[in-house]
Amino acid sequence: MEKTTQLSVAMENVPGQLGRLCRVLAQADVNIRGISVADASDISNIRIVVSDPGAARKALREAGLTFVGQEVLLVDLDDRPGALEAVAVRLGEAGINVHYVYGSGPGGKGKATMVMHVSDVDRARQTLAR
């Protein structure tokens, strides 16, 4: 389990914007490790976890893009039914709220990585480390 920074980028919901964001990051030699895109009519909220948050912030600023950073937890789970349930139950029992989760897995083998925005990242890490 790793604590990291997620960047939430607000972009106009029109064709080409996701490509623009990816190009800005690629030109800064920043790899996208996780991404979630949600639209809200005219604006899309793009949440990203990247290889170098500092370089990403600099590149986004220079490109004139609006963003905010949040601490999130990266949780590696066995890629099997019930793995996320076990984590969610433990966090709930500890009184830690899960605001949202997104992630990816290798498609049926190995580990799946979940990006979790929770009410208390440090307590969540302690709870899941036990």
CATH number where 62 lies: 3.30.2130.10
Q: 30, 45, 69 — which closes off a domain?
A: 69
Quick one: 28 and 61 in the same domain?
yes
What is the model's pLDDT at position 115? 96
Instruction: Give burial (CB, 10 Å; 0-12/13-18/19+) of 123.
Output: middle
pLDDT at 108 > cutoff 70: no
Q: For strands 66-78 and 2-12, give the pairing.
A: antiparallel
**The two structure tokens encoding residue 102:** 């997104």
pLDDT at 105 > cutoff 80: no
Beta bridge partners of 40: 43
Please answer whether residues 7 and 57 qualify as being in contact, where contact means their C-beta atoms are separated by less than 8 angstroms. Answer: yes
Quick one: 25 and 43 in the same domain?
yes
Quick one: 105 and 85 in the same domain?
yes
pTM: 0.89
Please answer whether residues 87 and 77 qualify as being in contact, where contact means their C-beta atoms are separated by less than 8 angstroms. Answer: yes
Q: 69, 88, 117 — which closes off a domain?
A: 69
